[in-house]
Amino acid sequence: MKLETVFTVDAATIKYGAGVTREVGYDMRRLGCRRVMILTDAKMVDSEPVTSAMEALTLESIEVALYDRVRVEPTDLSLKDAIRSSSERNFDGYVAVGGGSTMDTAKVVNLYSSYPAPFLSYVHRPIGEGHPVPGPLKPLIAIPTTAGTGSETTGVAAFDFHETHTKAAIAHSMLRPTLGLVDPNNIRTVPRVVAACAGLDVLCGALEAITALPYSQRPAPANPSLRPVYQGSNPISDVWAAQAIQIVSQNLVHMIENPSDDDARDQMMMAASFGRVGIGNAGVHLPHAMSYPVSCMVREYIPEGYSPDHPIIPHGMSVALNAPSAFRFTAKADPRPHLHAAELMGLDTSTAHPKDAGELLASAIVDLMRRTDMPNGLSAVGYQREDIPKLVTGTLAQERVTRLSPRSANEADLRQLFIGNMTHW
C-alpha cells in the first residue's frame, strides 16, 4: 500500500474584530451580490447580530430575505426545508448568522442551489453517494455567534439523518465560506451552557486534530481529487490546534463566569478560529465519531439555555462526554501527542511516564467539564448500558472520521469506551 506524501492547507479567509459584523454589506457588495438570503434560527431573529447584518446589507442596496427556520442540530429534513425556501428565489449570495448549525445549513443550501441534485448525492459514504462538489459555489459570508464551532473556517456540514438516527456530513473544500466575520461582540449574551458547549467543542476538536493519525500514515489517494478534506495530523494543523487548546484551557471558565470580560471573549473567538483552521485539514476522530449517535439518539434531555421545542444533546457536550475514554484508548498508540496536549491544557508532564498519557489528558478534560457544569457522563443525559449496542453501530458508520483515529477501534473496543463514558466522577 502506498502511503500519502502530501497534505494540503486550504486557509480560511476571516476578518476579526469588534463590530466587524457591520461590514457584511460592504463585503457582499464587493463580491457582486445583489439578492441575499440571511439564515438564522428562531431564537436569533431579533438579536443584535442579525439586526446589524440586515441593516448593513440594506444600506448597500442589497435585497435581503430572512430565513429563520434553521434547526439547532440540523436534520436532513430541516436542510431540505431550507433548500426549498432558497429555490423559490434566485439568490446570488448567502449570509449565515448563528452557531455551527446555521453555518452548516447555509453551506448545504448554497451547494444545492448552485448544483441541484438528489439530496444524498453529495452526502458522504456509506450513507450517501459521496459525489464531490462540482465547482465553485455562490458567495457565503458566515458570522458566528458562538465561540467554538468554527464552522466559518471549514468545508464540512454535519446533520442528523433521521431515517437511521445517525450523523451524516457533506465535506468538500468548496463548501468553505467565502469569508468569516468573527465579531467578539456577538457572544456577549450567549447563555452559560451554550458558551460551555461551544468552547468544549473547539477544545476537543483541536485535541483530536493534534492526536489524529499522521497524514503520512494514511493511504495515498488514487488521484489528487480524491484526497479527503480531513487528512490527518500535520505540521501546520498542529500549530493552530495547539494554540486553540492553550487559549481555551486558559479562558473558557473565566469567560463563562465573567461574560462582560472583553478580553476573555476576544480570546475565545480567536481560539475558535485557530482551532478550526487546525481541524479543517487535519480532522477529528473517535470523540467526534462517538458523539454523533449520542446526539442523534437523544430522547428527552434538554439542557438549560436551549430551545425546549425538541430534545437535544448539544454537539460540544456530546463530544466532551465521549472524550475521556476515547483519549485513554488512543494514547496507547502514540503517547507523545497526548502528553503534549495535556501539557497545553496546563498539566505538568515533565515527570510523566508515557503509559500515563491517556489518563493525564482524560483527567484534564474531566476537570474542565466539571468546572463548566457539564453532565456527569452519558448516564446523566439519559443513556443506559442497554443503549450501547446502538451507540456502537452508530459510531461504526462514521468511517469518515474513525479512520483518522491513531488506534483502530472495533465493536468490542467501542463497547468498552461507551461503558467508560457512562460516568466520569
From the list 196, 282, 199, the residue with the least C-alpha distance to 238 is 282
| Domain end residue (candidates: 182, 202, 224) | 182
The domain in which residue 321 lies consists of 192-420
* CA separation for the pair 370, 394 (Å, rounded): 27
The structure's pTM equals 0.88
Q: What is the pLDDT of residues 167-203, one digit of tens each?
A: 889 988 899 999 999 999 998 888 899 999 999 999 9
Query: Phi and psi for 181 in degrees, rounded to 5?
Result: -100, 105
Helix (H, G, I), strand (E, B) or coil at 410: coil
Span 257-265, average pLDDT? 88
| Domain end residue (candidates: 126, 155, 182) | 182
Q: How many domains does the chain have?
A: 2
**What's the confidence (pLDDT) of residue 281?**
82
| Domain end residue (candidates: 116, 148, 182) | 182
Q: Are residues 292 and 177 in the same domain?
A: no
* CA separation for the pair 176, 156 (Å, rounded): 7
Asked if the structure places residue 406 within a domain, the reply is yes
Q: What is the pLDDT of residues 6-63, one digit of tens each?
A: 998 877 789 999 999 999 999 999 999 999 999 999 999 999 999 999 999 999 999 9
Strand duo 179-182 + 140-144: pairing: parallel
Q: What is the pLDDT of residues 367-397, one digit of tens each?
A: 999 999 999 999 999 999 999 999 999 999 8
Q: Are residues 369 and 287 in the same domain?
A: yes
Q: Are residues 175 and 279 in the same domain?
A: no
* CA separation for the pair 47, 76 (Å, rounded): 26
Q: What is the pLDDT of residues 289-320, one digit of tens each?
A: 999 999 999 999 999 888 888 899 999 999 99
* CA separation for the pair 248, 404 (Å, rounded): 23
Q: What is the mean pLDDT of the chain?
A: 94
Asked if the structure places residue 374 within a domain, the reply is yes
Residue 192 has which C-alpha cell? Answer: 452559560
Q: Are residues 158 and 203 in the same domain?
A: no
Asked if the structure places residue 14 within a domain, the reply is no
Residues 6+ apart with CB under 8 A from 331: 211, 338, 357, 358, 359, 361
Angle between helices 315-330 and 357-371 (to 10 degrees): 160
Asked if the structure places residue 255 within a domain, the reply is yes
**What's the confidence (pLDDT) of residue 173?**
86
Q: Where are the alpha helices (DSSP H) in 212-356?
A: 235-257, 262-282, 286-296, 315-330, 335-344
**What's the confidence (pLDDT) of residue 301?**
96
- Spatial contact of 110 and 196, defined as CB atoms under 8 Å apart: no
Which pLDDT band holds residue 109 (cuts at 50, 70, 90)? very high
* CA separation for the pair 420, 117 (Å, rounded): 42
Q: Are residues 240 and 359 in the same domain?
A: yes
Q: Residue 98: what residue type? A: G
Q: Are residues 223 and 363 in the same domain?
A: yes
Q: Are residues 366 and 289 in the same domain?
A: yes
Asked if the structure places residue 7 within a domain, the reply is no
